[in-house]
């Protein structure tokens, strides 16, 4: 019995290692001693993808137990009396990194948003292809997440949808130095300014949610712009091709949440 169990565990370990390689295209052996513990690499494939995240590691339990998870299909929004977002962003995107899960632009300090009097600083923005949130069931070819944190680490994320159309000058700045492999980090030749990406009309949907990647922590303030912005087919393909496969978690149940609509 013991032997059978052991061989089952060994097989599971081997499978986990193989899956990690499939999901990220790099060798799990480099990341630690897999004979001591299974390499727990989450990804978007069948074996270590969104439906399995909650079982990969105990720290990821919210991915399967959470009741306020992201992304969601934004629908049945209520008009609510809330102040418009105060966006105090400056140019500050200095480097672009491919972290193995998404293309991300790291932002220097000094840009923030004010949500009902609470200030969150912009840390980075990154991309999902296709979009994670959907609006009235509609998916978009790409969604950017502008991740902000307050001094205690609480998060507020702005979601921005992209449609295929005219080329986007701000995206061009990071596409010209786009990383090719996981861990690669390149300095932008021209500092990116998130204001160049955000829509002119800043109507948004507001709700609470979670990180859309493990550990799927909740308590995240979400604001998704109603108006999409455009990027060319080539630009959308350039960003999507870094990862080579979709990186959108499926939409999650809304449960008891109320979606606010702020014009």
- The residues annotated as belonging to the active site are 101
Binding piece for Zn ion, criterion CB under 5 A, among 11-19, 74-82, 142-150, 218-226: 142-150
DSSP secondary structure letter of residue 59 = G
**Number of residues written out for the chain:** 263
Binding piece for Zn ion, criterion CB under 5 A, among 67-75, 144-152, 174-182, 186-194: 144-152
Distance CA 160, CA 25 (A): 28
Least distance to Zn ion, CB of residue 144, Å: 8
Q: How many residues bind Zn ion (CB under 5 A)?
A: 1
Is residue 16 within 8 Å of residue 40, measured between CB atoms?
A: yes
Asked whether position 249 contacts Zn ion by CB under 5 A, the answer is no
Distance CA 249, CA 83 (A): 30
CA angle 156, 160, 162 (to 5 degrees): 160
Residue 194: helix, strand or coil by DSSP?
Answer: helix
Least distance to Zn ion, CB of residue 224, Å: 12
What is the per-residue binding string for Zn ion in 85-114, x denoting contact by CB under 5 A? ------------------------------
- The torsion angle over the Cα atoms of residues 55, 57, 63 and 66, rounded to 10 degrees, is 100
Least distance to Zn ion, CB of residue 182, Å: 17
Where does the chain have alpha helices with state H? 2-24, 53-56, 62-65, 169-175, 233-243
Least distance to Zn ion, CB of residue 74, Å: 15
For Zn ion, the nearest residue by Cβ is 145
Residue among 24, 41, 145, 148 that touches Zn ion (CB under 5 A): 145
Binding site for Zn ion (CB under 5 A): 145
């Amino acid at each position: 019995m013991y032997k059978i169990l052991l061989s089952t565990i060994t097989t599971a370990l081997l499978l986990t290692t193989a899956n990690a390689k499939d999901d990220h295209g790099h060798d799990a052996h480099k990341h630690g001693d897999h004979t001591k513990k299974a390499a727990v690499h989450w990804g978007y494939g069948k074996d270590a993808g969104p439906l399995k995240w909650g079982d990969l590691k105990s720290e990821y339990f919210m991915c399967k137990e959470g009741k306020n998870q992201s992304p969601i299909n934004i629908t049945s929004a209520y008009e609510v009396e809330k102040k418009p977002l105060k966006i105090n962003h400056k140019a500050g995107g200095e480097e672009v990194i491919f972290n193995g899960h998404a293309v991300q632009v790291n932002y220097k300090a000094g840009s923030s948003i004010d949500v009902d009097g609470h200030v969150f600083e912009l840390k980075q923005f990154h991309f999902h292809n296709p979009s994670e949130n959907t609006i009235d069931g509609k998916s978009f070819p790409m969604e950017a997440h502008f991740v902000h944190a307050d001094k205690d680490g609480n998060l507020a994320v702005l979601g921005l949808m992209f449609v295929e159309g005219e080329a986007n000058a701000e995206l061009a700045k990071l596409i010209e130095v786009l990383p090719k492999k996981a861990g690669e980090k390149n300095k932008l030749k021209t500092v990116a300014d998130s204001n160049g990406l955000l829509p002119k009309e800043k109507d948004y949907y507001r709700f609470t949610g979670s990180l859309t990647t493990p550990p799927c922590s909740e308590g995240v303030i979400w604001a998704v712009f109603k108006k999409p912005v455009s990027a060319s087919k080539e630009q959308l393909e350039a960003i999507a091709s870094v990862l080579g496969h979709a990186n959108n978690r499926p939409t999650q149940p809304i449960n008891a949440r109320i979606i606010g609509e702020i014009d």
